[in-house]
């Protein structure tokens, strides 16, 4: 069901003093498919690390349903460095099972969830995560082609 290439996914978010740690863990579970969420010794950071494209399933479906693939694609490329990239998700939305991309940490009042993706096949991961509809693009350029 999933293409066979290596991808590592990490997600982390702060745990504010006003938050219940189990609810923050639920945010991570609703974001990343698989892995075992943990809380650091200080109790102020929740994180999950896992591997495989299946880990990105919730994000892929959520981005598609909210029509935010273009935003994710842009952030994916903007934050890219070699074989690693990252983006932010709204923690409150994640608690409800909604994947909402934020472009800045101030857009998420309780702090965002930072998702980091590492892969030697990062271009293929991006194409799987937010595929470009080639037919739609080809039709757009054909219909809007300006002759010189």
Segment 83-128, tens digit of pLDDT = 999 999 999 999 999 999 998 888 888 999 999 999 999 999 998 8
Superfamily name with CATH number, domain 8-143: Ribosomal protein L5 (3.30.1440.10)
State the average pLDDT for the chain.
87
98: Cα separation from own chain's centroid: 12
Domain boundaries, the chain: 8-143
- Confidence category of residue 131, pLDDT binned at 50, 70, 90: confident
Task: Compute the distance between CA of residue 38 and CA of residue 51 in angstroms, rounded to an integer.
Answer: 16
Distance of alpha carbon 25 from alpha carbon 20, whole angstroms = 9
Which H helix or E strand runs over 31? helix 21-31
Q: What's the Cα-to-Cα distance from 39 to each of 29, 45, 58, 122, rounded to whole Å?
A: 13, 6, 21, 28
Mind spelling out the 3-state secondary structure of 112-141? EEEEEEECCCHHHHHHHHCCCCHHHHHHHH
Q: Write down the pTM of the prediction.
A: 0.85
| pLDDT tens-digit series, residues 37-88 | 999 999 999 999 999 999 999 999 998 877 788 889 999 999 999 999 999 9
Note whether 100 and 87 are within 8 A (CB): no
């Amino acid at each position: 069901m999933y293409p066979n290439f290596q991808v590592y996914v990490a997600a982390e978010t702060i745990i504010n003093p006003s938050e219940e740690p189990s609810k923050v863990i639920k945010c991570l579970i609703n974001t990343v498919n698989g892995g075992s969420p943990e809380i650091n010794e200080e109790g102020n950071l929740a994180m999950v690390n896992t591997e495989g494209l299946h880990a990105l399933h919730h994000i892929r479906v959520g981005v598609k349903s909210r029509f935010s693939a273009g935003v994710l694609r842009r952030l994916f490329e903007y934050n890219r460095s070699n074989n690693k990239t990252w983006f932010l998700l709204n923690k409150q939305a994640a608690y409800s099972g909604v994947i909402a991309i934020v472009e800045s940490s101030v857009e998420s009042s309780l702090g965002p969830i930072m998702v980091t993706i590492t892969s030697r096949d990062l271009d293929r991961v991006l194409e799987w995560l937010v595929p470009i509809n080639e037919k739609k693009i080809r039709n757009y350029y054909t219909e809007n082609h300006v002759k010189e």
